[in-house]
Amino acid sequence: MKFFLNKITLGIFIFITVSLSVLIVTNIIIRQNANFIFDKNEKNIIIGHSIPQCAYNDSLIDNLINISESGESYFYTYIKLNEIINQNKKIRTIFIEYTNNNIPEKTNHLIWDKYYISKSYNLNYPFMKFEDNLLIVQKSWKDIISLTINALGSNILRTLTSDYFFISKIGGYFYLTKSKIDVLLKEKKLKPKKNSINKYGIEDISVYNLNYLAKCINLCKKNKIKIYLIRSPLHQESLSRSNEELYQKIRKEKFNDIEFLDFSNVPLKNHEFADFEHLNYKGAEKYSIWFNDIIELGLLNKTNKQNFINSKIGLYK
């Protein structure tokens, strides 16, 4: 019996050793061959989660590429941004979405909950640093075996098929067709009104998400890339602004040295929104053309950029 158990233990040890060795080797091969190079050498990029992904039709904006991804936390933004900057030396400006739903503690689940890990972990695993992996292990230790096996399988398949072109896998403008604002407004009217607006408390901040936003900013500074925090259009009835006071407080305390461009009040029509936070393709087309116009009018060279934005919003048609 003891001999049998020893053989099983030895077999498990050999399997783990071989698996980890293959994982390390395939990680090295993927990092050496990974292609994050843009075809058109765009000088400006916009990055973030689903709000900018649906708002910026980059085919209508000069010298800009949208690499936002639905459900993406700053954790995964940082990992892919590091690779993009390393391989695209002509990047001069990065716009990164900073909106109200980026700060609540509940955004932590975008980093380590099983659904989002299964979506992002395999793709990003070869480029993750020790501290990134350590966070995942600490927060998802129950799933770490299945995550490692899936990452191993993904690495092997990618290496065998020489699938090293990542640009098509890291996000991009999403052509959203739906428009359900009228339905949402009716539902909102039917719901009983609350006596006060819900506000997030200080304990509800996602420290992890904001720390990785800071890493994104430091990465850009290190590479002498100009970075702007932006807030894309939101519907006037959006409840995500309920934490506005805390949202602005965090911005001023943590990121006050980064210029903030607020486009949340651009007056788009109801039928140009998909819901209270996202533009559909009609809104994206109109907003993207307008955004391109004010960039061409010299927005980024203005001393008081927000005053310029507000004046153009006042004239918006």
Where does the pLDDT of residue 204 fall: very low under 50, low under 70, confident under 90, or very high at 90 and above? confident
User: How do the residues of the chain divide into helix, strand and coil, expressed in percent and rounded to 5?
Assistant: 60, 10, 30
Going by C-alpha positions, the residue among 259, 188, 26 that lies closest to residue 122 is: 26
Is 117:140 a contact under the CB 8 Å cutoff?
A: yes
Radius of gyration of the chain (CA): 22
What mean pLDDT is predicted for residues 21-27? 86
- Close Cβ partners of 200 (under 8 Å, ≥ 6 residues apart): 103, 104, 105, 242, 243, 246
Task: Summarize pLDDT for 268-286 with one digit per residue, the tens.
Answer: 999 999 999 999 999 999 9
**Higher per-residue confidence, 314 vs 219:** 219
The upper half-sphere exposure of residue 55, i.e. CA atoms within 13 Å in the direction of its Cβ, equals 29
Structural domains in the chain?
Answer: 42-140+170-314 (3.40.50.1110)
Q: Are β-strands 93-97 and 44-47 bridged in parallel, bridged antiparallel, or unpaired?
A: parallel
Where does the pLDDT of residue 2 fall: very low under 50, low under 70, confident under 90, or very high at 90 and above? low
Strands, E assignment, 77-129 = 93-97
Residue-level pLDDT at 109: 85
Residue 96 token pair: 């990164």
What mean pLDDT is predicted for residues 279-304? 96
Residue 81, pLDDT > 60, answer yes
- Close Cβ partners of 111 (under 8 Å, ≥ 6 residues apart): 73, 75, 76, 135, 136, 139, 208, 209
Residue 56, pLDDT > 70, answer yes
What mean pLDDT is predicted for residues 87-91? 92
- Spatial strand order of the sheet with 226-231 comes to 64-66, 44-47, 93-97, 226-231, 260-262
Residue 12, pLDDT > 80, answer no
Q: What single-letter amino acid sits at 292? A: N
| Sign (positive or negative) of CA dihedral 148, 153, 158, 159 | positive
What is the chain's mean pLDDT, rounded?
88
Q: What single-letter amino acid sits at 21? A: S
Task: Summarize pLDDT for 162-195 with one digit per residue, the tens.
Answer: 999 998 899 999 999 988 887 787 776 666 544 3
Q: Are β-strands 93-97 and 64-66 bridged in parallel, bridged antiparallel, or unpaired?
A: unpaired
Q: What single-letter amino acid sits at 119? A: K
Calculate the dihedral angle through the C-alpha atoms of 189, 283, 93, 97, rounding to the nearest 10 degrees. Answer: 20
What mean pLDDT is predicted for residues 195-206? 54
Residue 270 token pair: 């109801």
Residue-level pLDDT at 229: 98
What mean pLDDT is predicted for residues 57-71? 95
Residue 1, pLDDT > 80, answer no
What mean pLDDT is predicted for residues 75-102? 95
Residue-level pLDDT at 241: 86
**Higher per-residue confidence, 42 vs 295:** 295
Helix (H) or strand (E) holding 44: strand 44-47
Is 216:81 a contact under the CB 8 Å cutoff?
A: yes
| Range with the poorest average pLDDT among 121-125, 227-231, 263-267, 282-286 | 121-125
Phi, psi dihedrals of residue 160, rounded to the nearest 5°: -65, -35
User: Can you tell me the distance from the alpha carbon of 162 to that of 34, in angstroms, rounded to the nearest whole number?
Assistant: 9
- Close Cβ partners of 176 (under 8 Å, ≥ 6 residues apart): 54, 274, 278, 279, 280, 281, 284
Cβ neighbours, 10 Å, residue 173: 23
Task: Summarize pLDDT for 113-152 with one digit per residue, the tens.
Answer: 877 777 788 899 999 999 998 998 888 877 778 888 888 8
* CA angle centred on 262, ends 257 and 263, rounded to 5°: 155
Is 266:230 a contact under the CB 8 Å cutoff?
A: no
Residue-level pLDDT at 16: 63
What mean pLDDT is predicted for residues 244-251? 94
Residue-level pLDDT at 182: 77
What mean pLDDT is predicted for residues 235-263? 93
